Structure 1
Amino acid sequence: MTDLHDPRFATTLARGLSVLRAFRVGDDGLSNAEIAQRTGLPKSTVSRLTFTLGHLGYLVQSPRDDRFRPGPTLVAVGHVAATSLSFLIPAHDLMQRLAEETGTLVVLAVRDADKLVLIRTWRPRYIASIWLEVGQRISLQPFSSARAFIAAATTEEIGRIAAEQVADRQVLDDLLATRSQSCAEMARNGFVFTPAGSGIPAAYNAVSVPFRTSNLAEPVVFTCGALPPEATAERMQSEVGPRLAEAVRSLERLTGQAPHLTRTET
């Protein structure tokens, strides 16, 4: 649990990091006012933080429009973080091949507070696919990515997540309510599936499989998604889901990771 009153908790650092997390893919820079709106911090506090982050190279301010953008220091830190995830190297060829052969978008998501954030995408080169980008944040609604994550999470991890300050507690409660069903799907099929429009604002069919790595404290999730005309619900379950499960099992073998959830043979 994050105790904001713990004397070890550096509030100023937390606020500075919230400024960096305010940036999203597709932003053409952000003003102090826009950062304040996204973070909930006072504009005067944001001004001090962006000045400091700019001085340190984490942000750059354009003389053309005075808007802030990620700076070279932040890019370098992100590169170091990405290269520390050694499983991404063997995952690249596996997931790109999966995207090409199934005609679906493949994404890798990790949890970031009460969201899942995409850290990699693989799209088929010659087929139109749904458009999700690295850095995009997805709510922990009971859709396939979040359901796969919660199925793989341990009791201790779930307790830690539940104890955190989350913006929408009902979303987390709804996700936890699906855990037993998600675990059963994983045991039976090796993946979880959520169809388009299944009570949540998602326009695409998706299948997801969790993956555990010693580099991270929590499971990550690989997902294949496609619009219904491109991949029907039946094909996602009969073809794409098993292909994704096999790709993740191959990744586990290549990286020496023990399978966290295995398929129940009938």
Structure 2
Amino acid sequence: MTKPETDRRFANTLARGLSLLRAFRASDDGLTHSELAERTGLPNSTVSRLTFTLSELGFLSHAGRMNRYRLGPAALALGNVAAASVSFVEVGHQILQDLADQTGTLVSLAVRDGEKVMLAKTWRPVGAASIWLEPGHRIPVFGSSSGRAIVAALDDTRFQAMNPSDALCNFRSHGYDQLIAQGFTIAPPETRYSTTVNAVAVPFHAQEFGEPVAFSCGALPEALTDDRMCNDVGPALRDSVRELERITGRSPALVRRG
């Protein structure tokens, strides 16, 4: 949940600086001031001050080519430290790559990021030539299978801290029922945030984050039909996550409610 700017404990300048770092995506060939301002919603003058500071600290680099900024060595080091501390990602790499190859889908790890979920890691089928969603891409909680899996497994206190609408409460409740009945979630067609991607998701208890994350399988609707999600890909994803839970000694993410 994003802290309100009126909270005296909330450091607005730090939040704005971090929003610049979060604006970068894996496919970017650097970003200009204008592009950073567009992605973050910050004024150009603020972006200019923040990029100078972050460059001085090594979190951004600026080689002068076309006035584009890139993530710098300090950001790379921090990312490597973060990745190394999340052990289940490395342990599960082969399981998830095999799942991507077996199903012909993009397998993703999604984490909650305020009112959205962010793809933190992806596994592509070997030989896939098309451009797929990439790490750093953010999708809505409401209307995505990953978002549904996360909020369905999220404890009540954390969920209520999101100030959920009635629609999100219903979205979560039906996702919980899906997890109990079949072990995976699918966003209903009428709420799907995109008409170009279908996906099925399963929550996973990430003790490193203190809350569930979601693994998902996604593809174009013509390749990943609702029938295939329910009868083929969904069960395969569920079984892969169960295997990852087994070898990492993690408890299931879903806690049954009374």
State TM-score, norm by structure 1: 0.87
* 1:4 CA drift (Å): 2.6
Contact 1:190–1:261 (Cα < 8 Å) also in 2: no
1:220 aligns with 2:213: yes
Cα deviation digits, residues 82-118 of structure 1 (max 9, x gap): 1110111221111111111122111111011222111
Aligned match of 1:34: 35
Match of 2:138 in 1: 137
For residues 99-147 of structure 1, give each alpha carbon's deviation from its aligned partner in whole angstroms, at most 9, with x where no partner exists.
Answer: 1112211111101122211111111114566711111111223221111
For residue 192 of structure 1, report the CA deviation from its aligned partner.
0.9
Q: Which moved more, 1:253-262 or 1:10-19?
A: 253-262
SS at match of 1:73: helix
Structure 1 window deviating more from structure 2 (136-145 vs 54-63): it is 136-145
Query: C-alpha separation between the residues in 2 aligned to 1:245 and 1:105?
Result: 15
- Residue in 2 aligned with 1:177? 170
CA distance in 2, matches of 1:115, 1:261: 20
The CA RMSD measured in Å over matched residues stands at 2.2
Number of matched pairs:
255
Identity of aligned residues (%): 50
Q: C-alpha distance in 1, partners of 2:173/2:208?
A: 27
What whole-Å deviation, never above 9, does each CA across 1:208-260 have from its counterpart, x for those lacking one?
00001211122100001122332332122111111111111111111111113
Q: Structure 1 residues 93 and 113 mapped into 2: Cα distance closer, same or farther (>3 Å)? A: same
Counterpart of 1:46 in structure 2 is 47
1:255-266 counterparts in 2 under 5 A? 255-261=248-254
- Write the mapping of 1:1-266 to structure 2, written as runs, cut at 5 A: 2-127=3-128, 131-162=132-163, 174-194=167-187, 200-261=193-254
User: Partner letter of residue 43 of structure 2?
Assistant: P
CA 184–195 in structure 1, closer or farther in 2 if over 3 Å, else same: closer
- Distance verdict in 2 for CA 1:43–1:144, change over 3 Å: same
Task: Tell me the TM-score normalised to structure 2 length.
Answer: 0.90
Q: Any idea what SS the aligned residue of 1:185 has? A: helix
The worse-fitting range, judged by mean Cα deviation, of 29-38 and 246-255 is: 29-38
Q: 1:8 Cα deviation (Å)?
A: 2.8
Aligned counterparts of 2:54 and 2:112: Cα–Cα separation in 1? 24
Query: Gaps (5+ residues) in structure 2?
Result: none
Relative distance call for 1:77 and 1:108 in structure 2 (3 A) is same
